[in-house]
Amino acid sequence: MFATDKLQDAKYTVLAETLPRNRTLRDGCEARIPVEAIDGEELMANGIGTKFALKVVVVTGGTSGIGEACAREFAAEGAEVYALGLNAKASPLSANPSVRVVEMDVTDDKALSNFFAGLNRVDYMVPAAGISVADKEHEPDIFDKVMAVNLTAVMRCCTLGRAKMTGGAIVLIASMYSTFGSSQRPAYAASKGAIVQLTKSLAQSYASAGIRVNAVAPGWIDTPLLAPLKADEQVSEIILGRTPLARFGDPSELAKAIMFLCSNDASFITGATLPVDGGYLTV
């Protein structure tokens, strides 16, 4: 059972049309979230944790890889998750009643603005959508496209999401290429370097509103983005040979780190970039 079915004595309101899929309001009730009426035991009996019970989480790039894992893990802890991205119909999350999968090109400013306008509040945000186009990023159009998705759209999401937040946290996705340059991927490396600085800047800007802003810097994580490199045995060997933990990371390991940064356990952490890379950057 989903907790929004309990609709008496609520303190917080949401727009009915923004309720996640399969969650309806009882006849005659206003659209409300009964935060004080959460029955933890009932949620747990249904296999749902309560760490993020009824928190509203927006994840971009939520249709694949790290973003998808985030959406799933937040939902498994009771959150109401909006997973934005391309190829929404193909996402396995479409079957998850705690996640609303939204087809969205994050560089479509109007669509993004409309989406956020429809939300009553946001508690946590993970703008994870990202692309890289190996060997083509020296071309002006491709360079601009990568920067638009990986940096400009992240800033836009933060600005739009911030307007709906009265606390909570944002976690951006950096990379090992925030540290290294890349002759093959100059736009990707530039955008991810900028994400670290954006994290610090937004941490300062949003602190007075009680919003913490951090980033994770994933190492080599087993997602579709990594598939071409993973498929190359020689490249895989070099990567794993340099990674102290000697394996690729699982997207769920990123999700757990992101959830830590969102949780109260990280209440004095803001402006930080946390490597989640099996030790790759130590070598």
Residue 161 near ligand NAD by CB under 6 A = no
Residue 63 near ligand NAD by CB under 6 A = yes
Q: Give the end-to-end CA distance of the chain in Å, rounded to a whole number.
A: 48
Residue 161 CB neighbour total at 10 angstroms: 24
* Residue 188 falls in the annotated catalytic set: yes
Q: Return the number of the residue (62 or 168) whose C-beta is nearest ligand NAD.
A: 62
Nearest to 250 by CA among 220, 215, 280, 283: 220
CB 222, CB 245: distance < 8 Å: no
Residue 18 near ligand NAD by CB under 6 A = no
Stretch that binds ligand NAD, among 7-15, 22-30, 73-81, 220-228 (CB under 6 A): 220-228
Per CB under 6 A, the list member of 37, 86, 111, 133 interacting with ligand NAD is: 86
Nearest to 276 by CA among 219, 193, 226: 219
Q: Which of 82, 124, 177, 188 is catalytic?
A: 188
Measured CA to CA in angstroms, residue 120 lies from 33, 68, 129, 223 at distances of 11, 23, 22, 32
Binding residues for ligand NAD restricted to 91-110, rule: CB under 6 A: 104-107
User: Rounded to 5 degrees, what are φ and ψ at 112?
Assistant: -65, -45
Stretch that binds ligand NAD, among 8-16, 47-55, 62-70, 231-239 (CB under 6 A): 62-70
Q: Which residues bind ligand NAD (CB under 6 A)?
A: 60-61, 63-67, 85-87, 104-107, 128-131, 149, 173, 175, 218, 220-221, 223-226
- Active-site residues, by number, are 188
